[in-house]
């Protein structure tokens, strides 16, 4: 069996067995292809080869976090090979990459959220769609890929929640506030009908000017455009809205387990970082406003 055949089987495993998203599969495949360009025969790779490969990545300017991700992909490949009797050893077993302290998420203030959300021109179909997207992202903390993939049947306006299909096709229910719900319903009743009129049927909630599914990249560009129009003091991207959603909930006393469920985090430790963000924000407030900081 050659390296191309192993890669094909590994990708099939990621899609069928692990049920990973398309984006995750693409990332794994990209990492493994890069690795196999260096080492064409994965059967003879040893620990020294892996260390040499990582050192070469470091010299080429790759960050420790990116190196850790690539090592994780390679480790997954050899784990798959071991499980399927394609290899008798895992050369990554004793290799680790220190990535240092995890950088804290950088949310924006409620005032800037309000300013961003009010920037689209809701008198136009696309502006109304964009306002509905921004409201939904801040109200739910959904990932940009989840917003792009959101289908009409997953909206439950009568019960005020969204049925979200997240990473690994894991389902979760996210409560939807009245403000975001009102914008979604207004968009569906007016702008979406205009955008899809006479076009091929599309099940996605948010569509482009051609009546087709709105892509992740288009949503990224849309948010960046409104951030610039609003004069935002920092780079605002979709994940900033997700961070802001979680940080604002935790800062106002939301139960951490509930926030974990809404974000779709597999581990509570991932969600706990938002308590640290809230603490750092409180420190900043005291240092800025207390007469004796």
Is 274 among the residues known to form the active site? Answer: yes
Residue among 106, 237, 239, 281 flagged as catalytic: 239
Residue among 129, 243, 248, 265 flagged as catalytic: 265
Q: How far is CA 96 from the centre of its chain?
A: 25
CB-count exposure of residue 255 (10 Å: 0-12, 13-18, 19+): exposed
> What is the helix, strand, coil percentage profile of the chain, to 5?
60, 5, 35
Residue among 18, 51, 167, 224 flagged as catalytic: 167
Is 209 among the residues known to form the active site? Answer: no
Q: How far is CA 164 from the centre of its chain?
A: 13
CA distances from 184 to 154, 174, 180, 270 (A): 13, 15, 6, 29
Tell which phi-psi region holds residue 253, choosing left (phi > 0), alpha (psi between -120 and 50) or beta. left
Decide: helix, strand or coil at residue 141: coil
Is 265 among the residues known to form the active site? Answer: yes
DSSP per position, 167-234: GGG-EEEEE--HHHHHHHHHHHHTHHHHHHTTS----BSSB-TTSSBPPHHHHHHHHHHHHHHTT-SS
Is 242 among the residues known to form the active site? Answer: yes
Residue among 192, 242, 243, 248 flagged as catalytic: 242
Exposure class string for 33-62: b at 16+ Cβ within 10 A, else e: eebbeebeebeebeeeebeebbeebeeeee
Residue among 70, 129, 131, 143 flagged as catalytic: 143
Q: Which of the residues are catalytic?
A: 143, 167, 239, 242, 265, 274
């Amino acid at each position: 069996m050659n390296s191309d055949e192993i890669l094909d089987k590994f990708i099939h495993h990621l899609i069928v067995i692990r049920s990973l998203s398309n984006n995750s599969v693409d990332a794994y495949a990209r990492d493994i292809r890069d690795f196999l360009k260096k080492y064409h025969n994965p059967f003879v790779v040893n620990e020294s080869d892996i260390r040499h490969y990582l050192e070469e990545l470091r010299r080429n300017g790759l960050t420790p976090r990116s190196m850790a991700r690539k090592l994780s992909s390679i480790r997954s490949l050899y784990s798959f090979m071991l499980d399927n009797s394609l290899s008798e050893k895992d050369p990554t077993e004793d290799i680790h990459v220190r990535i240092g302290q995890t950088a804290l998420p950088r949310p924006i203030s409620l005032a800037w959220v309000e300013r961003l959300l009010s920037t689209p021109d809701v008198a136009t179909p696309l502006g109304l769609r964009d306002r509905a997207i921004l409201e939904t992202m801040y109200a739910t903390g959904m990932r940009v890929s989840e917003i792009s993939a959101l289908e009409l049947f997953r909206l439950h306006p009568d019960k005020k929640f969204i049925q979200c299909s997240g990473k690994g096709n894991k389902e979760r229910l996210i409560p939807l506030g009245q403000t975001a719900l009102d914008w979604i319903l207004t968009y569906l009743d007016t702008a979406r009908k205009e955008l899809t009129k006479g076009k091929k049927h599309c099940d996605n909630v948010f569509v482009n000017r051609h009546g087709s599914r709105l892509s992740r990249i288009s949503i990224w560009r849309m948010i960046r455009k409104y951030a610039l129009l609003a004069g935002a003091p920092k780079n605002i991207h979709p994940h900033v809205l997700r961070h802001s959603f979680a940080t604002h909930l935790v800062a106002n006393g939301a139960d951490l387990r509930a926030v974990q469920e809404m974000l779709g985090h597999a581990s509570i430790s991932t969600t706990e970082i938002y308590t640290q963000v809230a603490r750092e924000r409180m420190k900043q407030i005291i240092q800025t406003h207390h007469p004796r900081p």
